[in-house]
Amino acid sequence: MNCELSIAALLRSYRNGTETPRRVLTGLLRACADAPAGIWISRISEEQLEGFLARLEKSSPEALPLYGIPFAVKDNIDVAGLPTTAACPDYLYRPERSARVVELLIEAGAVPLGKTNMDQFATGLVGVRSPYGAAPNRLAPGYVSGGSSSGSAAALAYGLCSFSLGTDTAGSGRVPAAFNELVGVKPSRGVLSCRGVVPACRSLDCVSLFARNLEDADILLKTTAQFDPEDAYSRVLPERAPLPLRWKFGVPRDEDLEFFGCTAYQEAFQRAVTRMEDAGGEKVTIDFSPFLAAARLLYEGPWVFERYAAVGEFIERHPESVLPVIRSIITPSKTPHPAEVFRAMYRLQECRAAAEAQFAGVDLLLTPTAGTIYRIDEVEADPIRLNSNLGYYTNYMNLLDFSALAIPAGRAAGLPFGVTLVGRAFDDRLLLEAARRFRGAERYPIAVCGAHLAGMALHSELEALGARFLGSAETAPRYRMFLLENGLLPKPALLRTGREGSSFYVELYDLTAEAFARFVASIPPPLGLGALELKDGRRVSGFIGEAAVAECGCDISGFADWRAWVAAQAKNARGI
């Protein structure tokens, strides 16, 4: 598609006439047919699309808040006219009525394009437990896409829709968000109706939202957070006090943090903590052990039998229709004594009280969404343990009745990384505000190689902009350095060469978005800012010269470091 698919941008295109729902939706339906395997289980037909288009063409983007906005639906959520399988073909049924959340979206003008792949019966956090294949990870090929709402996240990441629906019982709407650089709303329990959803653990299930950005997430939450009298677990989302100007966020103690050997994720989380402080939050270290104790209850306690209550009888009747790993989880060999259920409930209440005590001194928590990411072949070789690892920061959430918002937080050694903001029940809107502040504190790395180096004549400009030193590095050996003397101060300019070139010393700093823009605006031609490749393979913004530099400048590549050239000139001036 050539148009921007965020909700605001697409509505703007409809309103100014540069796009029409017919052109956008028919184009997307064709794109969905050509999409990589593992994303879709079923899609609407051209005839079904015509039904949606006929309604839209009788209305307008001013009348419907989601006019012509395409979305994808996880295949455990009913859409009238499409089969529901929960990624088990023999479980298939055809609902006459859509799930309540789908009804609300369609009433607002949105159009469901189809049903997406998932870990079978929503049992998994990996996105590979499906007879329809593993959902692909567009950002990290070969790595898991996260589950169980894998296809919904992939459909959005591949640009096949504007938003998508998932479910989240133990992390299924947050882990895929992190692994696909999406916003993942895990609402407070009951805020989004679960009527028309194949249950995993009915008392814990949440319908979740995948969005491209925070603004879309806000619109979708307002549209779908409606009380449903036909859902016994439905709850009203009340108005709550906004996030105060001075606020505190909790971070687990070092001994409670777990990254499963992934140092890149560990470093990325520390950057996220610093960024949250830059956003105005005060960090408070909390005891995370009550949260972890509650998380263990989800699969080590009796709640696993709630999954049996949902689909266990089907599995008993059709054992060969279900993947072995799913069958082993939902139909365990040992049934607990009824007394164990009550003991687990007492233990959960103890964990809840202890966790709420940790919350008493903060407005929200900040954790990694997942402590690591795995390759598909790693998960296939060790499916239970690695899947469990991905739930370390997610499994406690619904048991303790918290709200959560998963957001992207940059890359970790080139891999997608995300954090989760955790709130009390009904803090859903507060978390969106905290995420907006986190986004506003985003900083951009930049490499400098000349007069802006520490101790050089223009370094004070970086200091005035609040630049933060990140470390020193060397460029990849693909550059030449030229001297420019067409201003008050001599400056170097790097030109990228072919295969033969040299490496040069650079210093890495980061700036806020506003400071970065001011810095870029001050760079005079023929200098500019471009993608600079470092020796370790990273790419950062850095000073790059225009082609004219080679004609007007003097090649000083032999010095390999601008400060070495400056020192040589000083010696010459003293006659040494």
Task: List the chain pLDDT tens, one digit each, 576 residues.
Answer: 567 999 999 999 999 999 999 999 999 999 999 999 999 999 999 999 999 999 999 999 999 999 999 999 999 999 999 999 999 999 999 999 999 999 999 999 999 999 999 999 999 999 999 999 999 999 999 999 999 999 999 999 999 999 999 999 999 999 999 999 999 999 999 999 999 999 999 999 999 999 999 999 999 999 999 999 999 999 999 999 999 989 999 999 999 999 999 999 999 999 999 999 999 999 999 999 999 999 999 988 888 889 999 999 999 999 999 999 999 999 987 788 889 999 999 999 999 999 999 999 999 999 999 999 999 999 999 999 999 999 999 999 999 999 999 999 999 999 999 999 999 999 999 999 999 999 988 888 899 999 999 999 999 999 999 999 999 999 999 999 998 887 678 888 898 887 778 999 999 999 988 889 899 888 888 888 889 999 988 889 998 888 777 777 788 999 989 999 999 988 887 766
H/E element, 530:
strand 527-533
Q: How are beta strands 527-533 and 554-555 bridged, if at all?
A: unpaired
User: In the chain, what's the furthest Cα-to-Cα distance?
Assistant: 94
SS in 3 state form for 306-375?
A: HHHHHHHHHHHHCHHHCCHHHHHHHCCCCCCCHHHHHHHHHHHHHHHHHHHHHHCCCCEEEEECCCCCCE
**What is the reported pLDDT for 249?**
98
Q: How far apart are CA 237 and CA 213, in angstroms?
A: 21
Q: How far apart are CA 523 and CA 532, in angstroms?
A: 16
Q: Cα angle at 283 between 431 and 443, to 5 degrees? A: 75
Give the tokens for residue 110.
């949105």
Spatial neighbors of 196 by CB under 8 A, at least 6 apart, are: 77, 78, 95, 97, 98, 99, 100, 101, 102
**What is the reported pLDDT for 2?**
62
Give the tokens for residue 231.
């859902």
> Among residues 130, 145, 148, 188, which one is catalytic?
148
Spatial neighbors of 11 by CB under 8 A, at least 6 apart, are: 61, 67, 69
**What is the reported pLDDT for 352?**
97
Q: How far apart are CA 32 and CA 30, in angstroms?
A: 5
> Among residues 13, 74, 150, 152, which one is catalytic?
74
Is 115 an annotated catalytic residue? no
Domain 7-292+348-440: CATH superfamily is Amidase signature (AS) domain (3.90.1300.10)
Do residues 456 and 514 touch, judged by C-beta distance below 8 A?
no
Hey, which bits of 20-110 come out as E strands?
A: 40-43, 70-74
Please choose, from the candidates 108, 77, 153, 95, the residue with its C-alpha nearest in 3D space to the C-alpha of residue 11. 108
**What is the reported pLDDT for 105?**
98
Provide the 8-state DSSP code for 251: E
- Kindly tell me the burial class for residue 456, based on how many C-beta atoms sit within 10 Å of its own C-beta (0-12, 13-18, 19 or more): middle
Q: Candidates 3.10.490.10, 3.40.50.300, 3.40.50.1860, 2.40.50.1020; correct CATH number of 443-574?
A: 3.10.490.10
Length, in residues, of the chain: 576
Residues of each domain in the chain carrying CATH 3.90.1300.10: 7-292+348-440
**What is the reported pLDDT for 73?**
98
Do residues 421 and 431 touch, judged by C-beta distance below 8 A?
yes
Is 491 an annotated catalytic residue? no
Is 172 an annotated catalytic residue? yes
> Among residues 172, 193, 234, 403, which one is catalytic?
172
Residues of each domain in the chain carrying CATH 3.10.490.10: 443-574
**Distances, alpha carbon 137 to alpha carbons 160, 417, 502, 569, in Å:** 14, 13, 35, 52
Q: How far apart are CA 236 and CA 189, in angstroms?
A: 10
